[in-house]
Every structure is written in C-alpha cells, then in structure tokens.
Chain A
Amino acid sequence: MSSGLKQHTMKAEMHGETWRPWSGTLDGQRLRFGPIVRAGLRIALRKKLPLVLLFLPPVVATIIFSFVVYTVAALAQGMVPAGLGAAGGAMGQALGGGSNSLAGDFVKQLVRVREMIVGFHLSTDLFSLLLMTWFGAGLLAEDRRSGAHLLYFARPLTRMDYLLGKFSIVALFGVLGSMLPGLVIITVAVAASPDWSFLQQEGSVVWKTLLFGGAWTIVVSSIVLAVSSLASRRSYALAGVFALFMFSGAISQLLARLLKDRDWLALSPVQCGIRIAEALFDLKMPVRDWNTTIAWTSWALMVAVSWAIIVWRTRRLEVV
C-alpha cells in the first residue's frame, strides 16, 4: 500500500568525537543566569515550614527592634509614643529640662540607636547564616547527584552563568536575612527622628550597613557553595557548613586564648564579621580589639579559596 508520503533522504554522517563544546554566537541577552535564579527561588519557596522557621525570628526581631528604636528616638524628643502612657510621660520628664541638655541627650540617644542597629545586625547575621546554609547547601551537591547539571549544560549556558545563578540564589537569602532588616530599622530611625536628623548625623550607617551586609553575604555564600561543591549530597553539605563554622569558631577562640594573641580569631568568619562590624560602626570593644586589616584579609582569602574550590570542582561539569 502506497502511503502517499514523500520520502526524505537523510545525509549519512559519522562523527569521530563524542563531545564537542558548544560553538556559535550567543544571543546578546544579558542575565542568562536569570532563569536559574527564578527556578531556584521557586523551588526554595515551595516548602513553607523551613521558610516560616527561618524567617520568623528575624521578622519578629525586626518588628520588636523597630519599635524599640522608634520609642528611644521619640522619647529623646520628649514625645511619648502612643501606648506608653504614664511610663512614657515619666521618661519624657526625665529627659526634659533645658533645651541644650535636651539636644545633648538627643544626640546621645541617636548614638544609642546606632549601636542598637549594629547589635541587631550582629544577631540577625546568625539567622542569615542559617538561611543561606539551608537554601544554599544543596545547590551544587544535589545538581551533581541528580545529574541536573547535564540538563543545564545542554543549554547555551557557560559555567560562569551557572555559578552566578547559583550564587545569586544564596546571596538573595543573605540579603533578605541580613541587609534588609537592618535597612528597615534604619528607615524607622530616620522617620522617627525630627527632620530626618538621624540621617544627617548618623547617615553613614546606611552605606556601612550595605557594605557590611554585602560583604557578609558574599563571604558566607561563597563558603556555602564551596562546601556544596565538595559534598556528594545536601545533608553532607549542611553538616559540612555547620562543622566549618563551629570548628573555626572553637579553634580560633582556643588558639587566641592559648597563644594570647587575638589575631587568631581571624580563622573564624563569624569572629571576623564581629570585628569588622565593630570597626565599621565605631563601636569601642577593647576586650575584642584586634587588627581589622587582618579580619578583612581573612574574609578576602576565604572568598578566594572558596571560589577556587568551586571552580576546581565544577571544571568538568559540562562534560558527561
């Protein structure tokens, strides 16, 4: 029976090589890693319980701190925030007196607000560490385990696109956990101060918050991805990251105590963060005073080593 179909002849070819790198011109589209980030976030946001457990503490802390900051700023101006009633009135009286003394107290209160913001930073950094570890530990490990990297590199993606995409996912959670709450508190402080005087007097805290939050995010994200690239599955990567931070903290403190040299604290990313925050935000903590340059150098080295590990472990990811 004739099918009536036209038979097309395929040209016979044979290929000696079994793998060829992709060659051609990529579309001028920027942010090729965008879809990786979007997909990663969609997957991360699917499970609600970890989101609630990990985001709830910083959200609650932000709300509480915002109220405290607002109250301190308001009281410094002799105003009684709504809801404080008689207690607020008494505090206002205590702060009252001559206009000069009020102005002097007010400046002190703004400094106090700044210190509170820094303290808040250091405590939310723990949650941002948990966030980045939870959502970032499996990014490279599980891709390799499930063979998903083969699907990624069947697309016109370079290795850098892939790594940037993964890095952006982790960093986004870091920003949400560390930078954003700090900026919220600063906004409250600015709004609560008359004529935005907080911004005039302590305005540097804004760029310092961005700088510190950004640096902390970069360091932790890099470490998390490096451990993920070394691990064969997500649970090992999680344990590895926690082990790294626990060990480095314990060892750095032990060495600092035994050798009576606080520069050894530079072995711990968390201790470096504390030192850098204190120096950046002008907090005087003589008990923990050690060389800030070493802390910055240590962070830079950690990022460099992490990325060296990541690049080494993913060097043949495109090859089956």
Chain B
Amino acid sequence: MIPLHTAAWVIASVHLGTLVRSRRAWACAGLLALPSLIAWIVASSYFKATPSGLTTMLGWNALLQVSVPLVSLLMGVAVVAEEVDDRTITYLFIRPIPRTALLYGRLITSVLWLAVCAAVAVALLVAAASCADGSDAGISNGVRVPLVLAACSGVAVYTVVFAALGVWVKNAMIVGLGYTFAVEGFLSQLPGRNQLLTLQHHLRSLIAGTGDDAWQRIDGYGTTTWEPLGSTILTLASIVAVAVLLGAWRLKRRQYELTS
C-alpha cells in the first residue's frame, strides 16, 4: 500500500495541473478580484472616497461576506463530487492507496489555489483603493494584514467545510448555497450570541483581533462583541479538523453507484 502522504502528493500535483487549466479556477479568481474592480470604479469616480475606508468597506462587505464563501463553495464541493460526477473516482478507488488521499490531495490544491488568489485579490483591492483621492492616513498594515489573514483563512475554512459536505451530501452545492446565504445570513441577524454559529463571525473576529482603528468605520463593528483572537483561531482550527475527519471517515466507507 502506498503511504497516505505520497498518494496525496501525487494526486495534488496532477490535480494542480488540471486545476490551473480549468475555467472554474479562473472564474473563482475573477470573483475574488471583483471587489478590487469596484474599488477602482469608486476611487476613479468619487473624490471623497478614502483609501482605507474603501478597503475596509469592500473587504468586509464584498470580499469576506460574498466572494470568499462563494468561491470556496465552487471549489470545495468539487473536491470529491467532481470525481464522482465525472465517474473518474473509480480509477482512484481501485489503486492501492488510502481513499482519503483523494480528499487530502485535492483539498490541498484547492485551498492553495484559493489562498493565493485571495492574497492577490487583497493586494489588488489595496492597489485600487490607493487610487482614491480622499485624504486619510493611507492603508496601514493594520488593514492589509488582517484582511489577508481573514480572506486566506476564510477560503481555507469554507473550502474544507464544503469539501466535507460534498462527501456526505448528494446535492452539496445547493445545501452549501442555502447555508452560506440563507442560514448564515439569518443567524447573523439574530440578537444575542447566535452569530457564534456562523463562520463569518469568526473570520470577522480575526480582523477585530488583529486590525487597527480603521475598521471602526464599518457599520455594526463597534456594537458587536468579537471573540478573542486565540479563541477564534482555536475555533476555526477545530472546525477544519472536525470537517476533515468527518469527510475522511465518510469517504472510507461510502460506496458510489456510478452509472455507465
């Protein structure tokens, strides 16, 4: 039997090659870069926009809240489900490798791709927002670094969760859409500590824990109770670990009835 890490590495290296040639991967990169396009439009048209204000607002509302979950859904669900839909999973399951190598290998590549695209997207956003004429102290590291951290962590966490969902559930895309835009949206509007049940809240807590005062301008920022940084990191890491373990457990036992 081939060791898990070797098999995962082989799968990851081949998958990376096919991923960078796929339309889906570039569409995800485009979706992540969309907030920077908006930033450029606003910076070019609105003379009162400030660079840091633009960065924080678009980073918070557009990048983190819409782009990150959406691209993670598109990539995460496809980690296992794409092989099942394409009926190529047969070849991988009839090799002397642990079944979980499929999950780990493809997950690594997907997360890596999205993390790079997210980091580039933040860089583009900062560059576009910097064109704004409005005067302020500029885009500090207290804005850049938390945003990169939150965006990259966001794509990692969401992708892993949706990948596990793809292993468990048949219509994972629909369930994922429902969770992201209905459940999380609904829970975030509820009073009290219901927001703790959403991934978005923890990602925003990352920003709150590492960011500077520039983020205070965001609506609702000052009135929300954010989680301490250590607790946030632990929560996100636990979610990733649990999702991966659950996905791996299910994949080892699941039978796929593929039609001809």
Contact = CB atoms under 8 A, between A and B. Distances in A.
B57 A258 contact: yes
16 contacts: A235-B173, A238-B173, A238-B177, A239-B70, A239-B173, A242-B177, A247-B66, A251-B34, A251-B38, A254-B57, A254-B62, A255-B41, A255-B42, A258-B46, A258-B54, A259-B42
A296 interface: no
Interface in A212-247: 232-233, 235-236, 238-239, 242-243, 246-247
A31 interface: no
A123 B41 CA distance: 32
A235 B177 CA distance: 10
Contacts of A242: 177, 181
B61 interface: yes
Contacts of B11: none
Interface of B: 23-24, 31, 34, 38, 41-42, 45-46, 49, 54, 57-58, 61-62, 65-66, 70, 73-74, 77, 81, 85, 171, 173-174, 177, 181
B61 A254 contact: yes
Contacts of B70: 239, 243, 246-247
Contacts of B23: 232
Contacts of B177: 238-239, 242
B181 A255 contact: no
A255 B49 CA distance: 11
A98 B45 CA distance: 59
B174 A238 contact: yes
A47 to B, nearest CB: 11
A255 to B, nearest CB: 6
A170 B45 CA distance: 38
Interface residues of A, number: 17
Nearest to A253: B61
A283 interface: no
Contacts of A236: 24, 74, 173
Nearest to B22: A232
Contacts of B65: 250
Question: What 7 A-B pairs come out closest when comparing CB atoms?
Answer: A235-B173, A259-B46, A258-B42, A243-B70, A250-B66, A242-B177, A251-B38
A239 B34 contact: no
B87 to A, nearest CB: 12
A304 B6 CA distance: 51
A71 to B, nearest CB: 30
B41 A254 contact: no
Nearest to A252: B38
A238 B172 CA distance: 12
A254 B66 CA distance: 12
Given A250-B62, A254-B62, A255-B41, A239 B73 contact: yes
Contacts of A250: 61-62, 65-66
Given A238-B174, A251-B34, A258-B46, A246 B41 contact: no
Contacts of B41: 255
A46 to B, nearest CB: 15
Contacts of B54: 258
A205 B77 CA distance: 45
Nearest to A245: B181
> Most chain-B CB neighbours within 10 Å: which of A232, A254, A259?
A254
A254 B58 contact: yes
Nearest to B185: A246
Contacts of B45: 259
Contact of A243 (B31, B61, B81, B171): B31
> Most chain-B CB neighbours within 10 Å: which of A238, A242, A247, A258?
A258
Nearest to B81: A235
A239 B66 contact: no
